[in-house]
Structure 1
Amino acid sequence: MSANRPSWTDLAEAVQDAGQYMTTAEAEHVLRVVLSALGDHVTGEERVDLAQALPEEAARIIASRIPLNRHLSAPEFVDTVAARIDGATPATARWHVSSVLSVLPELVGDELVDRVLAQLPSGYALLFGKAELVPMG
């Protein structure tokens, strides 16, 4: 799996394109903040698999976080990102979050993203650029 890892540059450029950021540095800053927030929530095999699928620097960011005892709702998640980026509003923070998370399915695969989403409260799928998964019953 690690042989297919994207590079940090590939990941940052994908985020820069998705978010239409003016500089790679801005995209990298947003990438670090959003990945650290994501690392607060992903646990178990999905955490390990996500870290293995991402570039080493991204994997370190996720692995350095201690998962929270409770999952935040998608709006609360966006609010935590807003609090970590100077001058961010809820609307710009949602843009930042989506700019990072929406590039992950293509880079790490839909199957892994779906497993990560299964751990999170409803509402996160849209942040990953995916339709909300509704259990069939």
Structure 2
Amino acid sequence: MRMHWDAFLAAVRERGEYPSRDEAERASRVVLALLGAHLVGGVRSELAARLPETLALVLLNPLQAHEPLSPERFIRATAAWIEGATEKTATWDVSAVLSVVADTAGEDLMDRVLFQLPDGYDLLFGRPRPI
């Protein structure tokens, strides 16, 4: 089931403790554009189907990545795309957005999403895996 735009942004805004909805939207767009470059096939389509339509389009038309980014490089890339961001604030942005994405996706889809990503992304989604 597709999450509504207002509900998604409200959840990101709450988790990220953003003072405005615009900041939550900006973080969501950047993080999902970067994430989309790392997902392929049915997994990306299924995840997009659960996101608000505007963000689904961002996920399906990602920024280009020449290689999978490690979690650390994903955070640095996020910081580079958000004006005034640092690695510390970008970590916060990534965590706020991806934890809402994880809740929206559910466990089965999240397992398949994480299977396509380099090690360590489980922590960015707020879903640490047992060792």
User: Aligning the two structures, in what range does the TM-score lie when normalised by the shorter sequence?
Assistant: over 0.9
Distance 1:68 1:22 in 2: 31
Local SS of the residue matching 2:57: helix
Matches within 5 A, 1:109-120: 109-120=106-117
Equivalent in 92, 95, 104 of residue 101 of structure 2? 104
Partner of 1:91: 88
CA distance in 2, matches of 1:64, 1:133: 32
Pick which of 77-86 and 67-76 moved more: 67-76
CA distance in 2, matches of 1:67, 1:7: 27
Match of 1:42 among 23, 39, 43: 39
Q: Please state how far the C-alpha of 1:114 moved relative to its aligned partner.
A: 1.4
What are the ranges of 5 or more consecutive residues in structure 1 without an aligned counterpart?
Answer: none
What is residue 55 of structure 2 aligned with on the other side? 58
- For 1:51, the aligned partner's letter is A
Any idea what SS the aligned residue of 1:102 has?
helix
TM-score normalised over the length of structure 2: 0.94
Residue 78 of structure 1 is aligned with which of 75, 79, 84? 75
Which structure has the larger Rg over C-alpha atoms? 1
Q: Is the 8 A contact 1:122 1:132 kept in 2?
A: no
* Preserved contact between residue 42 and residue 116 of structure 1 (Cα < 8 Å): yes
Are 1:24 and 2:21 an aligned pair? yes
Structural RMSD (CA): 1.3
Change (3 A) 1:66 1:82: closer
SS of equivalent to 1:104: helix
Q: Percent identity?
A: 44
Q: What's the CA shift for 1:133?
A: 5.4
* Paired residue total: 131
In structure 2, the partner of 1:127 is 124
**Is contact 1:33-1:81 (8 Å) kept?**
yes
Seen in structure 2, the aligned counterparts of structure 1 residues 59 and 91 have a Cα distance that, compared at 3 Å, is: same
